[in-house]
Amino acid sequence: MLEDLKLGKSYDGFIFLAESTRNPPKLKSHHHIELELNLVVRGSITYIVNERRYTFQPRTLLWLFPEQEHQLVDRSDDAQCYVMVFKPSLIARSCRTAAYEDLKHYRDKKHGVLNTLLEPSTFDLIRKTMDSLMRGALDPDVLNREAGFGVGPGFSFEHGDPDGLNAGLHHLLLLCWRSQRTGNVLGDAVVLHPGVRRALQLLSADQWDKDFAQLARACGVSEAYLSRTFHQQVGVPMSRYRNSLRLSRFWQHYRRPEQTTLAEAVYAAGFGSYAQFYKVFIHTYGRGPRACLALRSTPNGQTAGIPVSSPAQLNKTR
């Protein structure tokens, strides 16, 4: 699925610090025309790219090239990861010598995710550079809610110093590529079983409302085998993955312009009850929906208070 990152003309890219406790999960497989870099600061993140699973630990720098399909399938509860994107025009202007020529043409569609484990001193330098570029950016809560580019309609990335940000992104791109060329590439990924790949497709593409026994039959394997192999290869149980997908859908429904109520968003996302939703929400964000949803972003990135009903009221909300 092609994702429009909606970058305005004033910006050559954007940067934000994605945090598990603030950033809604976005688990659909997607790609975009921009180059994306991730730098894992804390915890771990797990991607599926080219039918392989990759789990990245702190100090890992990873590259997701234009048009490279990728899917974030899991993050540890404490995960923090810088996300940077660069327009093709910035790459073309920045890479003019032989040392950076490969970056303009690099397309790693067959072999997965280009990555390197940075030395501590290099990691600190790149992280401090990223921190400096965040000065003047929108509030971290807003950036996380909007995944940097705008999950909700009408949102656009903004920065107090666009020229300074663009110059910093140019420097950061070259610094990261130099670090990649001299760093240590991590080991092999996990190649997914065809049944696991099929399960991911069915769970992600459709709002699967049948039980796991039916899912296993659709994947051509037994339920026990699918459950065990899915957990081993993807790194999370199927139930957790499905609940993460439901939580992602909840955010999509809740942020619609027509002001979908909380109860409508919960059930439209596929949760069987508010109690199930509440349990998943607490596990993901460490606090209940009342605390997290008391403020909701408006199109210009500001926040406006909205009432959140009690569990008893939710069952009556329409």
CATH number of the structural domain spanning residue 29: 2.60.120.280
Q: Note down the domain range covering 120.
A: 13-190
CA of 172: how far to CAs of 85, 184, 240, 281, in Å? 11, 19, 36, 35
Yes or no: say if 20 and 78 are a contact pair by the CB < 8 Å rule: yes
Note whether residue 27 is domain-resident.
yes
Note whether residue 271 is domain-resident.
no
Strand-pair partners of 18: 81
Note whether residue 102 is domain-resident.
yes
Total domain count, the chain: 1
Note whether residue 206 is domain-resident.
no
Yes or no: say if 116 and 186 are a contact pair by the CB < 8 Å rule: yes
The token duo for 157 is: 């990335």
Note whether residue 171 is domain-resident.
yes
Note whether residue 65 is domain-resident.
yes
Predicted pLDDT of residue 108: 56
Note whether residue 51 is domain-resident.
yes
Predicted pLDDT of residue 294: 63
Note whether residue 8 is domain-resident.
no
Which residues of the chain fall below pLDDT 70?
Answer: 25-27, 107-111, 152-153, 183-188, 206-208, 259-260, 294-318
